Amino acid sequence: MADTQPAAAPQPTFQIQRLYLKDASLEMPNAPGIFLEHEAPQIDIQLEVGNSAVVEGIYEVIVRTTVTAKIKDKVLFLAECKQAGIFEIRGVPNEQFDAVIGIACPSIVYPYLRASLADLISRTGLPPVHLAEINFEALYRQRLEQQAQAAANAPAPVTPQ
């Protein structure tokens, strides 16, 4: 008698293939004169997350930060780091895929970004900047709400008469 059981659906796969520092830059345009200033610098931190398909089932996720420190109107330093990860993601239901790539992957990459940035800045002789922990789930939910709000506020398409 032939086995008539349906073939089992492939198991979802989520694996880290590689984590790496994709890019790092540091500028200190006003050194050494800026070191004579005694005021505490104003720190501005920008963060963004992006992803792209590499090949079928393989995705690169990049977490990028730009940190600018200024004293008065002069730049003390400008540091930028891009930390990336390559992830194998297969068999994940479509309704869960965006959350995996938008929450799980950046949560794995981010601690490496924090370490890379702190190391880069400490090499200037200045105290390192330690990025705060980030709740990528909250950021993901916020982005979804902004997209829904933008869609709701978009003008209705005009139909020809």
Domains delineated in the chain:
13-126 (3.10.420.10)
Q: Which of 70, 78, 101, 61 is nearest to 25 (CA)?
A: 78
Half-sphere exposure (Cβ direction) of 63: Cα atoms closer than 13 Å: 26
In order of 31, 112, 145, the CA distances from 43 in angstroms are 17, 21, 28
pLDDT band (50, 70, 90) for residue 143: confident
pLDDT in tens, 30-62: 999 988 888 999 999 999 999 999 999 999 999
Whether 1 has a pLDDT exceeding 60, the answer reads: no
pLDDT band (50, 70, 90) for residue 99: very high
